[in-house]
Structure 1
Amino acid sequence: MSQAFDAVEQQARLEARVAQALELAKRLGADACEVGASVDQGIEVGVRLGDVENVELSRDQGIAVTVYVGQRKGSVSTSDASDESLRAVVEKALDIARYTAEDPASGLADAALMATELPDLGVHYPWPLSTDDAIELALACESAGRGVEGIANSEGASLSSGEGVRVYGNSHGFLGSQRGSRHSLSCMLIAGQGADMQRDYDYTSVRNPADLQSPEVVGRRAAEKTLARLGATSPATGRMPVLFAPELASGLVGSFMGAIAGGALYREASFLCGQLGEPIFPEWFTLRERPREYGAMASTAFDNDGVATRENVFLDKGRLASYMLSAYSARRLGMTTTGNAGGARNLRIDAPLVSRDELLAQMGRGVLVTELMGQGVNGVTGDYSRGASGFWVEDGKIQHPVEEFTIAGNLRDMFANLQGVGNDTDTRGSVHTGSWLIDDMTVAGE
């Protein structure tokens, strides 16, 4: 990278700052304290039509202090980690805590739950990438896509590369830190003209830059996906199966996880309240979390409370086996934290996997959805309604592209009506899944 970033040095600096803030809070009268600090640095370049559009070098840091006076809580954050600023932040947090109402659920997670083993999880791969090299990769990606016959224009290609350090400590004596990196390359292209103009994109995102797809592959895939959308019509209205592409199926997993998150449950704002142990998915479907998977996109040895992460099974043979809880939400529910302060990490599906062709054959007649628009998901009722585009399927074969239609249902019914999961697993994010075939949804087109 253009600016030197010594992750080991930054880690030592942040650990010292966190320890300093904890000691200061204790000295100034806090009964307990927790401190989180992070620093990130990255480069992002964007090109369009063969020219450089932007080059951005970023460096961000922050430190957040939370103090407890009895069961009263005060939190303050800053981007200035100087001695003067650190003292001011701790003092302000104490002032807030002294005037807030008592909350019986507030406080640190139990000391016995703190992570004691902090192994190297293979998530930090620095990339000594110069600005010129980053531009060259982005240009090669766009050029490969624009070189495909039928591509008329480009929204550009971009490459980003970054690394950072996060540190968390609390007055139990826990101090944990982790270095990490993320690198990505993307391209968006345009085909057609006038009323039949379409655009689509492709991307690759990894921890280790050696695992990035080549610029030529990303560019060509973006072109192929764009060209495939030309000539789209609106589908017929009716009830039919819907096949969700892998990147959209991961969004359904996200909706499920939001419904079993402790915050939604104790507020009684989830359609899955009180459903622990109940069948939600077919019995052949299991969903587990593997937060210590080596090299994975969301791996960590401790959560945002300092609690040791562990493998959780959220769905066991279709039944809701566990909620997703932080220390606070667990107390509100009279339960125990699942090590999920900050969310779930590395969700993996155990299910029989089949090819997309087999799912299409099983579908017979319906729609393959490759893009969703809008925010039409109600976590309280489970009602689901999204604008969509994709492909019409007849006799188990893709016939032509479709757009400007809506798919609707209820998440509870959609989960129960899951017919199959594809082996076309998307591994670019924290959720790994293939396509999902869901029966009996409403499709509203022309």
Structure 2
Amino acid sequence: MTTSLTDLAEMLLDAARRAGADGADAIVASGRSVMIDVRAGQLEQAVRAEGRDLGLRVLIGQRQADVSSSDARPETIDALAERAVAMAREAPEDPHIGLADPAQLAQERDSAALELADPADEPSGETLQARAACAEEAALAVEGVSQVQSAIAAHERSEIAQAISNGFRGSYGRTSNHVGCTAIAGAGAGMERDHDSDTRIFDADLRDAAGIGRRAGERAAERLGARRPPTGAWPVLFDERISGSLIGHLVGAANGAAVARGASWLRDRLGEPVLPETLSLIEDPHRPRVSGSRAFDGEGLATRRRAIVENGVLTGWLLDLASARKLGMAPTGNGKRGLSGPPSPGRWNVALTQGAADRDELLAQMGTGLLVTSMIGATINPNTGDYSRGAAGFWVDNGQIAYPVNECTIAGSLPDFLRRITPANDARTWLSSVVPSLLVEGLTLAGE
């Protein structure tokens, strides 16, 4: 009889106790996935994977150690726990580590309302191949597209169980369904590439594969003839496809571990304006059918809806137990726990206030400048927020797209220009990061 994930987590805790641990937490995950890649109308690759992994953290006083394995035999679990305890005894002391008090633990642990797992049957390999082929065919039908680099359809299902020696027990399932296409337009040195994709928890929510392929082809063809834009100080409109990266840098700077180390440009700005006063950034881990939703975090604490930024003002950090203790604050239920490492702060779903104008209206407002649709690399100074990234997109003249551009660099001070952003109203509300296109005035652009 196959041992359940919950039983395996209990076996890990029991083994840790026998080995001499003062406390322990265990996580067990199992999953299966299938990915189909089509090229030239034929099956290019079919990958099916199944696995089960175990992670154990043990605490000896103020010392800890983490171990992981894919072997669930009882003798292996005992050896794993013994090894973890031996490692912990040799680890340096950390006054801030420790499990949650029982009173801190989440009371609501049922994830059913979040709809994180699609109850429908797994799509067949034939269905996935047909989706990938449909996306490829639609991309190739776009004028100017010379080839399709990849057309992929995939499905994944996983189960996770957590058990902690302070009494916490929790489990949930997850599914993910994906269709993606990357098209290439033109030939030789003039080739341009772009893509489109969709990933949903419920298979029925996926966008049409033909529409994904067609949009990938259109995006690639639109980039033909790209050249460098003029150098100077120009307004920049970050398209909704990539605008989330700007807010991601802000959320990353609000990570409690970085703040506690002093390695964040936000470290002294709690209670100060970091966005325009009309904007708020809301974290909501309870949105149904969204990948970043959780009923409880990796330390057994309840997750909750809250404002990270409210009316432009930074109101709090993302805190796990250890970083909260370092900062002398209460944890926020943002502890994320992997299989082979201790908990650390992480974000759940975030949403930025949307504006009243659509993207075209912001282009008209911008007048002349750069519309960015893709970015390459990143140089972000974590202490100062100095920002520099490679970019590509379209040059805008008198509010209208004039020609495609590439090989340019955008630079500025992230703390400064986040205070000047103007949002559109085009965010995709089903994503974990709901961020519309963002207009920023006066960035430095290095092109020709």
- TM category (shorter chain) comes to over 0.9
Deviation (angstroms), 1:25: 1.7
Q: 1:60 aligns with which of 51, 54, 60?
A: 51
Q: Distance in 2 between matches of 1:377 and 1:58?
A: 36
Question: Which residue pairs with 1:38 in the alignment?
Answer: 29
> What is the DSSP-based 3-state SS (H/G/I as helix, E as strand, rest coil) of the residue aligned with 2:335?
coil
Amino acid paired to 2:139? G
Q: How does 1:293-312 map to 2 (within 5 A)?
A: 293-312=287-306
Q: Distance in 2 between matches of 1:347 and 1:413?
A: 21
Q: 2:367 aligns with which of 364, 367, 372?
A: 364
Q: Distance in 2 between matches of 1:353 and 1:22?
A: 53
Q: 1:28 aligns with which of 19, 22, 25?
A: 19
Question: Which residue pairs with 2:423 in the alignment?
Answer: 421
Amino acid paired to 2:392? S
Q: Confirm or deny: 8 A CA contact 1:153 1:189 kept in the other structure.
A: yes
Q: Distance in 2 between matches of 1:217 and 1:76?
A: 45
Q: 1:116 aligns with which of 87, 95, 107?
A: 107
Question: Which residue pairs with 1:442 in the alignment?
Answer: 444
Question: Which residue pairs with 2:380 in the alignment?
Answer: 377
Q: Is structure 2 residue 403 aligned with structure 1 residue 412?
A: no
Amino acid paired to 1:96? M
> What is the DSSP-based 3-state SS (H/G/I as helix, E as strand, rest coil) of the residue aligned with 2:9?
helix
Amino acid paired to 2:319? L
Q: Confirm or deny: 8 A CA contact 1:284 1:352 kept in the other structure.
A: no
Deviation (angstroms), 1:108: 0.7
Q: 1:159 aligns with which of 138, 153, 164?
A: 153
Q: Is structure 2 residue 146 aligned with structure 1 residue 144?
A: no
Deviation (angstroms), 1:73: 0.9
Deviation (angstroms), 1:416: 1.0
Q: Confirm or deny: 8 A CA contact 1:247 1:426 kept in the other structure.
A: no
Q: Confirm or deny: 8 A CA contact 1:284 1:351 kept in the other structure.
A: no
Deviation (angstroms), 1:427: 4.2
Question: Which residue pairs with 2:341 in the alignment?
Answer: none
Q: Distance in 2 between matches of 1:35 and 1:445?
A: 52
Deviation (angstroms), 1:28: 2.8
Q: Distance in 2 between matches of 1:398 and 1:38?
A: 48
Deviation (angstroms), 1:127: 3.9
Q: Is structure 2 residue 238 aligned with structure 1 residue 235?
A: no
Count of matched residue positions in the alignment of Structure 1 and Structure 2: 436
Q: Distance in 1 between matches of 2:240 and 2:215?
A: 16
Question: Which residue pairs with 2:343 in the alignment?
Answer: none
Q: Is structure 2 residue 281 aligned with structure 1 residue 287?
A: yes
Share of identical aligned residues, percent?
39
Q: 1:430 aligns with which of 419, 429, 432?
A: 432
Q: Distance in 1 between matches of 2:356 and 2:105?
A: 37
Q: Please give the TM-score of this superposition, normalised by the length of structure 1.
A: 0.95
Question: Which residue pairs with 1:85 in the alignment?
Answer: 76
Q: Deviations over 1:338-381 (max 9, x none)?
A: 10012111111224332001111111111000010012122222
Q: How does 1:283-362 map to 2 (within 5 A)?
A: 283-342=277-336, 343-362=346-365
Give ranges in structure 2 of 5+ residues lacking alignment. Answer: 337-345
Q: Distance in 2 between matches of 1:80 and 1:275?
A: 47
Q: Is structure 2 residue 74 aligned with structure 1 residue 71?
A: no
Q: Distance in 2 between matches of 1:162 and 1:84?
A: 30
Deviation (angstroms), 1:425: 1.0
Deviation (angstroms), 1:410: 1.3
Q: Distance in 1 between matches of 2:157 and 2:16?
A: 30
Q: Confirm or deny: 8 A CA contact 2:391 2:408 kept in the other structure.
A: yes
> What is the DSSP-based 3-state SS (H/G/I as helix, E as strand, rest coil) of the residue aligned with 1:358?
helix
Deviation (angstroms), 1:109: 2.1
Q: Distance in 1 between matches of 2:155 and 2:434?
A: 22
Larger mean CA deviation between 121-130 and 302-311 belongs to: 121-130
Q: Confirm or deny: 8 A CA contact 1:182 1:207 kept in the other structure.
A: yes
Deviation (angstroms), 1:306: 1.0
Question: Which residue pairs with 1:6 in the alignment?
Answer: none
Question: Which residue pairs with 2:122 in the alignment?
Answer: 128
Q: 2:251 aligns with which of 252, 257, 267?
A: 257
Q: Deviations over 1:169-194 (max 9, x none)?
A: 10111110010101110111111123
Question: Which residue pairs with 1:222 in the alignment?
Answer: 216
Q: Confirm or deny: 8 A CA contact 1:156 1:188 kept in the other structure.
A: yes
Q: Distance in 1 between matches of 2:444 and 2:101?
A: 47
Q: How does 1:201-220 map to 2 (within 5 A)?
A: 201-220=195-214
Q: Please give the TM-score of this superposition, normalised by the length of structure 2.
A: 0.95
Larger mean CA deviation between 212-221 and 189-198 belongs to: 189-198
Deviation (angstroms), 1:67: 0.9
Sort the Cα spacing of 1:428 and 1:186 in 2 relative to 1 into closer, same or farther, 3 A: farther
Question: Which residue pairs with 1:95 in the alignment?
Answer: 86
Sort the Cα spacing of 1:199 and 1:212 in 2 relative to 1 into closer, same or farther, 3 A: same
> What is the DSSP-based 3-state SS (H/G/I as helix, E as strand, rest coil) of the residue aligned with 2:415?
helix
Amino acid paired to 1:237? T
Aligned-residue CA RMSD (Å): 1.4
Q: Distance in 2 between matches of 1:395 and 1:232?
A: 19
Amino acid paired to 1:47? V
Q: Distance in 2 between matches of 1:297 and 1:60?
A: 21
Deviation (angstroms), 1:428: 5.8
> What is the DSSP-based 3-state SS (H/G/I as helix, E as strand, rest coil) of the residue aligned with 1:406?
strand
Give ranges in structure 1 of 5+ residues lacking alignment. Answer: 1-8
Q: 1:194 aligns with which of 188, 197, 203?
A: 188
